[in-house]
Structure 1
Amino acid sequence: MSTNVHTIVTNVQDMVSQDRQQVHSPTSTPSPPSSSTKPKSKVRSKYRHVAALHSKAQPSVLSHETSETPSFIGFRNLMVLTIIVMNLRLVVENARKYGLLISLKYNLRNHDIKMAAILYAATPCHLFVAYIIERIAMENVRGVIGRRKKRESGENDVCRDQENKDFYYTWWWIAFWHTVNASLALAITSYVVYCHVDNPGLGTISELHAIVVWLKTCSYAFTNRDLRHAMLHPGGPESALPDIYAECPYPRNVTLSNLCYFWWAPTLVYQPFYPRSKEIRWSFVAKRVGEVIALSVFIWLTCAQYAVPVLQNSLDGMAVLDISSIVERLMKLSTISLIIWLAGFFAFFQSFLNALAEIMRFGDRQFYDDWWNSTNLKNYWSTWNKPVYHFMRRHVYSPLVGRGWSSQAASAWVFVFSGFLHEIAVGIPCHSILGVAFAGMILQLPLIMMTDPLAKKEGMAKVAGNCIFWINFVFVGQPLAAMIYFYAFNTKHEELSQGAEHRSWFTKGWFN
């Protein structure tokens, strides 16, 4: 009752105030109503059930007839979430089944550590041996040029022919000693790792280091040979050199400082001069080093906690050739190996090589390209590892094509050579030369022939080529090779696992 009275009083006061405002306000002539202004209806019309919701013909969103391609961002987000959930499930399953397998203890023999340290210090000496050989060759070139100047004053043809024979004889000896030196750089390390280093982790690091030094030594010898030839035959068809070489022409490049720069430069291809950055950004270096450390720890944890149990559980199936068990373990290992490989790729090619390039002020830092978008295998092998690709193209493929080989034959020989390097990089540290890594590289040739036509087409053909690349990369290549070499190593050392609680010497020696 009191509320109604209060409401009535309030309304009366509002009416009185409005009347006062009208009295005191100046009179104004009301404007005539606009013809376009229609009086608003105070009565709200009821909804009529005759609205035309189907007013035109239109296809379904996922039909081919639709004019605009729909967005699939939602499905992409769903797939990402599904992958995350599936991997979290594997993490939980691994924790419940095995517990914590990671240990800070290590079981490396002092003998293995000493041998690896000696190899790491001694292997680069072959680069300095190549430098000494090049100094001898440089003095030979200077002598030839000096004798040419004397010959212009007048000498007989007999002396000229004898000088040419002596010159080519010396060149053959230079090439011979370069071959011996480069071969020893790889042969000595391979022998020591195979016979005297039991730990495959240290063996792999030593072998990869030897391969890098071997490739650098070969490139140093090949490049300086062509530079000598260009100097001795000015104006000839092979005397043209890149403009950047004018910054350090031959023989000014044959110095110890120039060799030391090439030794540490993040490239396998020797040049007298490289593009340089202006200064060293130490904050950039610190970030890249932090990434290397973090990713290395992540790789170690992933290997010890997830990869090793899967590999151990595959031993019994491999021993009896249980195909279903092998396939199941192969598919389970594929995800783990992919994660480890991607982390290792980023740690080395993006973080480590960029940090090294920044310290060396090395300008060209295209160490890789967008290999993950490869629509054929050929594109992948030419984009994921640019330092090796540049070496193969400059010192193997192009010389063979220049000598009359077809492009297909030269490419095949590149894969044979690469297969040899893959086999010694994996087989020697594992003490098992099986030829699996070599065969894996050779089998890339028919896959390249199969995926090349897909890359030249448009639409779904390129998608199919990219899918074939990922299937070969994720399921067939790395995990299968890892299982085979793991089994061979354990078989050779008679450490086949008989139970889930039994850990092989390989696991104790490598990951702990």
Structure 2
Amino acid sequence: MDSATSTSVETSTAAASIRRQDLGTAKDDATNGSYGNLICFTCHDYRKQDVWLGLGLYFLIPCFLFIAYLIELYASQKAKISRAQEVKSGGTSSPTPDQQAKFNYTWNIVRALHTINATAVLLITSWTVYFYIYHPLIGTFTEFHVIIVYMKIASYALTNRDLRHAYLHPAKGELAAMPEIYASCPYPDNITMSNLVYFWWAPTLVYQPVYPRTEKTRWIFVLKRLAEASVLSVFIWFCSAQYAAPTLVNSLETIDSLNFVGIIERLLKLSTISLVIWLAGFFALFQSLLNALAEVMCFGDRCFYDDWWNSASLGDYWRLWNKPVYQFMKRHVYSPMVARGYRMGHASIAVFSVSAILHELLVGVPTHNIIGVAALGMMFQLPLIAITQPLQKMKSPTGKLIGNCIFWVSFTILGQPFAALLYFYAWQAKYGSVGKKRMMDIVKNA
């Protein structure tokens, strides 16, 4: 589970669970530590409009991926015509200045169309979620879906751009750099509807014409993984409603009065259950759901994460815990910038800047509070990486141990719990008890 998604889940569950419960009772229970049974099956306040808009966007969002296919189909037809003309005129493998200018002209048109398409799906969905979908959990899943499709559109466009260049100007070095597996589906034979549909459902964010495949689907394996995900989903809901919600509710007055000692105490108390929820969500998504989807799709490359819990630095963590996103950023942001002469540090800043924007969209839009905490949290990783990187390079195990401790402290206390507190407070200030209290104070003082 992504840290931003985990924050939204905690915030939305807490917000929904107290809509039909007495806030004073929840505060008393949280203060006394005697929670009792706080599970309520009818306390999730969502509107029919939220459900219908969520379903509508679920079916609308993939349509933009098929628009990307039509754009690439147009580009492939142009490439076939250009290739035929070059072969007829006996052109060289290396592009001439005129050929390169022609390629760049076509790519500028294709890039503009892809940019408009990808930006449109992101803006339309985010605008609809922010202004018309009230329930944060429905909004979170919708925003999560659109960000995945947005990244897939970007990868589909950028990878086909490279394949098209190699097709038009098959220089030896460029052809040698192509993976051997690509030979089974060369450009432009990969521009088909079936190829796109497979990429749409494949558990990856980086487009390839062909992927390593398994021979058959093991349906017992799929059922086991789905059972794991189902049980863990119930567990996450239970922990959020029973433990995270009262802790968040009890923190409202503490934050409103700027009681810093109380805020730290709430933060430490929330950190434990927040970590439990995050770990359960991580296992449900990366170990259960993605493996189940990979098995159904006969997808062979199933390295969705490595041992991030042993990270000796923050840089290690971001490279290991979410391999699909890491591979996307490396393939389409970091490596192209380094290849164009940018410093590795500048490329890293660009990667975290893109990630910061996407994290803020994923948390701020569903909670209707774009306050920049998620974005700043991502940018704050850069100095932490700079601090822990020398520790990782130390020959003695002490350096790595200190780096691992810094990672866990920043991860369990300064990360999700802090963000959950702030976004939940912002939500309550806008829609809940804090906002009502302030309004009453204004009326009394008027």
Change (3 A) 1:305 1:147: same
Q: Which residue of 1 aligns with 2:148?
A: 212
Q: Read off the aligned partner of 1:185 and give its amino acid letter.
A: V
Partner Cα distance (2:108, 2:436) in 1: 58
Cα deviations across residues 456-504 of structure 1 (Å, max 9, x unaligned)?
A: 12222211111110000001111000000000011011432999xxxxx
The whole-number CA distance in structure 1 between the counterparts of 2:97 and 2:344 is 38
Q: Indicate the residue corresponding to 1:257 in structure 2.
A: 194
Write the mapping of 1:398-413 to structure 2, written as runs, cut at 5 A: 398-413=335-350
| 1:182 correspondence with 2:104 | no
1:493 maps to which of 417, 431, 439: 431
User: Aligned-pair distance for 1:101?
Assistant: 1.2
Taking the aligned partners of 2:249 and 2:148, their CA distance within structure 1 comes to 32
Residues 252, 98 of structure 1: alpha-carbon distance in 2 compared, 3 angstrom cutoff: same
What CA distance in whole angstroms lies between the structure 2 residues aligned with 1:383 and 1:143?
Answer: 43
Aligned positions of 1:325-344 closer than 5 A? 325-344=262-281
| CA apart distance, 1:346 | 0.2
Are residue 229 (structure 1) and residue 168 (structure 2) matched?
A: no
Which one of 360, 373, 382 corresponds to residue 310 of structure 2?
373
Q: Which moved more, 1:423-432 or 1:454-463?
A: 454-463
- Return the alpha-carbon distance in structure 1 between the equivalents of residues 340 and 33 of structure 2: 62
Give the equivalent residue in structure 2 for 1:270.
Answer: 207
Q: Take 2:277 and 2:83, find their aligned partners in 1: how far apart are those partners?
A: 56
CA-CA distance at 1:161 after TM superposition: 8.8
1:134 paired with 2:67, answer no
Aligned counterpart for 2:357 among listed residues 417, 420, 424 = 420
Q: Residue in 1 aligned with 2:400?
A: 462
- Per-residue deviation at 1:99? 2.2
SS in 2 for 1:382: helix
Q: Which one of 279, 283, 308 corresponds to residue 346 of structure 1?
A: 283
1:91-130, aligned counterparts within 5 Å? 97-105=34-42, 106-130=44-68
2:295 aligned residue: 358
1:135 and 1:150 map into 2 onto residues whose CA distance is 23
Deviation, structure 1 residue 145: 1.5
Judged with a 3 Å threshold, the aligned counterparts in structure 2 of structure 1 residues 453 and 152 are, in CA distance, closer, same or farther, namely: closer
CA distance in 1, matches of 2:350, 2:128: 28
Whether 1:144 aligns to 2:77 is: no
Tell whether the 8 Å contact from 1:94 to 1:306 is kept in structure 2 after alignment.
no
| Structure 2 residues without counterparts, runs of 5 or longer | 1-28, 438-446
Report the CA distance between 1:96 and its aligned residue: 6.6
> Aligned to 2:417, which of 479, 484, 493?
479
Structure 2 residue identity aligned to 1:119: L
Give, as a single letter, the amino acid of the residue that structure 1 aligns with 2:314: L
Q: Indicate the residue corresponding to 1:452 in structure 2.
A: 389
Q: Tell me if structure 1 keeps the 8 A contact 2:271–2:417.
A: yes
Q: What does the per-residue CA deviation read over 1:23-48, in whole Å, with 9 as the maximum and x for residues that have no partner?
A: xxxxxxxxxxxxxxxxxxxxxxxxxx
Q: Give deviations 1:205-246, integer Å, cap 9, x for gaps.
A: 000100000000000000001000001111254343111111
User: 2:131 is matched with which residue?
Assistant: 195
Is residue 229–residue 239 contact of structure 1 (8 Å, CA) maintained in 2?
no
Matches of 1:483 and 1:94, distance apart in 2 = 16
Aligned length: 402
- Output the CA distance in 2 between the equivalents of 1:292 and 1:271: 28
CA contact (8 A) 1:144 1:167 kept: no
User: Which residue is 2:20 aligned to?
Assistant: none
Q: Over alpha carbons, which structure has the higher Rg? A: 1
Partner of 1:27: none
Q: Deviations over 1:32-66 (max 9, x none)?
A: xxxxxxxxxxxxxxxxxxxxxxxxxxxxxxxxxxx
Report deviation, 1:412: 1.4
SS at match of 2:414: helix
Pair 339,164 (structure 1): closer, same or farther in 2 beyond 3 Å: closer
Deviations 1:167-201 (A, max 9, x none): 54333211110111111121111110011111110
- Asked which structure has the greater RCO (Cα within 8 Å, sep 6+), the reply is 2
Distance (Å, rounded) in 2 between the aligned partners of 1:387 and 1:417: 15
Q: Which of 419, 438, 453 matches 2:375? A: 438
Write out per-residue CA displacement over residues 260-283 of structure 1, whole angstroms, 9 at most, x where no aligned residue.
000000000000110111111111
Tell me by how many angstroms 1:335 deviates. Answer: 0.1
TM-superposition CA deviations, 1:367-387 (whole Å, max 9, x none):
000000001000000000000
SS of the aligned residue for 1:98 comes to coil
State the TM-score, normalizing by the size of structure 2.
Answer: 0.87
Residues 101, 304 of structure 1: 8 Å contact kept = yes
In the alignment, is residue 306 of structure 1 matched against residue 243 of structure 2? Answer: yes
RMSD (Å), alpha carbons: 2.0
Asked if structure 2 preserves the Cα contact closer than 8 Å seen for 1:185 and 1:210, the reply is yes
- Identity, % of aligned pairs? 53
Conserved 8 A contact 1:292-1:352: yes
**C-alpha separation in 2, matches of 1:107 and 1:470:** 35
- Taking a change above 3 Å as real, the CA distance of residues 237 and 198 of structure 1, as seen in their structure-2 partners, is same
Decide whether the 8 Å contact of 1:335 with 1:474 is kept in 2. yes
Please give the alpha-carbon distance, in whole angstroms, between the structure 1 residues aligned to 2:402 and 2:102: 60
Cα distance in 2 for residues equivalent to 1:422 and 1:314: 24
Q: For 1:424 and 1:386, locate their aligned partners in 2 and report how far apart those are by CA, in whole Å.
A: 21
More helix by share: 2
Counterpart contact for 2:71–2:114, Cα < 8 Å:
yes
SS in 2 for 1:430: coil
Deviations 1:314-361 (A, max 9, x none): 000111110011011000000000000000000000000000000000
**1:202 Cα shift?**
0.4
Paired AA for residue 429 in structure 2:
T
